[in-house]
Structure 1
């Protein structure tokens, strides 16, 4: 991977983290109009529709490749993740318990090593430690009081996301699958359990207004369709553990946007966590840039040696 190719995933991560971070603020507003499970189902249905429209507009085939693997990704990274995330939101609200889903880098690290053979090496451990410690400072698990159900559901959402991440990496390593097609089909298949759950669970009806339509449209097209595609694009180009750590920019953006939007005060632990995550992500980017420069430097040194000879 040359230097320019290296910066494309970084740019994708910046866009993804910015949109996903602000999505937490929009989700709070969206839940004023729609109940949680219906909101999740409507969001994913709209996302699947947008992705299939994009497939048609770009002239791609709609053929489902590797149906078994795609179904596994859909059930874990779409249905499982959305169900447990929404359930955690219902049980504990949009506070610290729901943010536990961002422990997904820990589970991805644990799974990627034995399954994919992706290991954290050398200085990379410093970047990993900075981001994970920063995450702990933001979540503040020592401040969690009350029942354990909501935190457990948040952890289940994180594990589902991590399993889906590993399945995507393994599928891309075994089968040439178009990224946009894969995203569209996983979203369509993952929407089915969400629709069933929204119909089965007793909830108030959705209050369809122009404001809610705007929120749902943004979350379906940008927060879900675009960002899920960007996530698979990133996974296709960097190790699973690195991608998962890098997406920790999302809770940073979520906290910043929430504090600025609702006028909430920053806590010292949150500020320290934001700085640690930012430092860890910067170190990851620096290490990636250095790694991308090594082949070019080696080629120059070899050419100089040949000229001297």
Structure 2
């Protein structure tokens, strides 16, 4: 496959990931009616890891773990910390707000990629970053308060952890070139183990195995966990970290609109303005031009 086709495939994978993850936040909010945040996250990623290992066996892909240091760090940051903290933040915060706080991730990813990988942002990246920062500021509206402090802090911290996991994933592909599916399975297994330990020590409500909960679990395991994280690692492998990270800002925009329709959380005027800035920032960072040559 040539470089152009690989990049085009990465863009398609990125689009699919955006839609799946935007939907998953709505599902994550709904399942809290039936389970605690850490119990659900641990169950979701444990089943997801097992499913991916079964896929590896069926496809006869390599089962040996990639270099453990990078794999474990990625699992602890982008799987355990990001998902656990994000799910916990939803217990007391609105869906749209939590997603937007968590998706401050690109700002941390740009800095970490610069420091760790030496990926110096170019001019259009800085412009997109500035526009997206204005957009997130408008949506969050800090002059109106930060809402529930614990929800705000955990959502932001989750975004920082995801940024670190994104950078370590990129470093793994640059230095060791692991099989994406194998890498996804192993980092997810380590993350699921960490989540299971947290769930064991943190008291939570008992799970209610209702049809709605089972449906949410199936969607989360198959699509939002196994498929989407595999696609995301393919995106990180093929595209620059800055482009991949900033493009993921489309997820909170779509999540806010979905929360309006499904959860009856209508966007405020500040959120509409903010989302306009975010979309403009996405166009800038990807180099899309609105005029013909």
TM-score, scaled relative to structure 1: 0.87
Q: In the TM superposition, what is the alpha-carbon distance from 1:36 to its structure 2 partner?
A: 1.1
Query: Given that residues 129 and 246 in structure 2 are in contact (C-alpha distance below 8 angstroms), is that contact kept between their aligned partners in structure 1?
Result: yes
Query: Given that residues 135 and 273 in structure 2 are in contact (C-alpha distance below 8 angstroms), is that contact kept between their aligned partners in structure 1?
Result: yes
Query: Given that residues 45 and 188 in structure 1 are in contact (C-alpha distance below 8 angstroms), is that contact kept between their aligned partners in structure 2?
Result: yes
Q: In the TM superposition, what is the alpha-carbon distance from 1:97 to its structure 2 partner?
A: 4.6
DSSP-derived class of the 1:236 partner: helix
1:201-216 to 2 correspondence within 5 Å? 201-216=202-217
Aligned position for 1:217: 218
Aligned position for 2:277: 276
Aligned position for 2:69: 68
Q: In the TM superposition, what is the alpha-carbon distance from 1:213 to its structure 2 partner?
A: 1.1
Query: Given that residues 98 and 151 in structure 1 are in contact (C-alpha distance below 8 angstroms), is that contact kept between their aligned partners in structure 2?
Result: no
Cα distance in 2 for residues equivalent to 1:126 and 1:202: 45
- Distance change in 2, residues 1:95/1:266 (3 Å): closer
Q: Does 1:44 align with 2:45?
A: yes
Aligned residues: 288
Query: Given that residues 77 and 163 in structure 1 are in contact (C-alpha distance below 8 angstroms), is that contact kept between their aligned partners in structure 2?
Result: yes
Cα distance in 2 for residues equivalent to 1:263 and 1:91: 16
Cα distance in 2 for residues equivalent to 1:121 and 1:232: 23
- More divergent stretch after superposition (50-59 vs 123-132): 123-132
Query: Given that residues 98 and 155 in structure 2 are in contact (C-alpha distance below 8 angstroms), is that contact kept between their aligned partners in structure 1?
Result: yes
Aligned position for 1:181: 182
Which of 1 and 2 has greater Rg?
A: 1
Cα distance in 2 for residues equivalent to 1:147 and 1:254: 20
DSSP-derived class of the 1:118 partner: coil
Query: Given that residues 110 and 242 in structure 2 are in contact (C-alpha distance below 8 angstroms), is that contact kept between their aligned partners in structure 1?
Result: yes
Query: Given that residues 80 and 160 in structure 1 are in contact (C-alpha distance below 8 angstroms), is that contact kept between their aligned partners in structure 2?
Result: yes
Cα distance in 1 for residues equivalent to 2:4 and 2:139: 32
1:164-179 to 2 correspondence within 5 Å? 164-179=165-180
User: Which consecutive unaligned segments of at least 5 residues does structure 2 have?
Assistant: none
- Distance change in 2, residues 1:133/1:96 (3 Å): same
Q: In the TM superposition, what is the alpha-carbon distance from 1:62 to its structure 2 partner?
A: 1.1
1:182-201 to 2 correspondence within 5 Å? 182-201=183-202
TM-score, scaled relative to structure 2: 0.91
1:47-126 to 2 correspondence within 5 Å? 47-92=48-93, 94=95, 96-97=97-98, 99-126=100-127
Query: Given that residues 10 and 285 in structure 1 are in contact (C-alpha distance below 8 angstroms), is that contact kept between their aligned partners in structure 2?
Result: no
User: Which consecutive unaligned segments of at least 5 residues does structure 1 have?
Assistant: 289-309
What is the RMSD of the two structures over their aligned residues, measured on CA atoms? 2.0
- More divergent stretch after superposition (38-47 vs 93-102): 93-102
Cα distance in 2 for residues equivalent to 1:29 and 1:149: 20
Cα distance in 1 for residues equivalent to 2:74 and 2:62: 20
DSSP-derived class of the 2:42 partner: helix
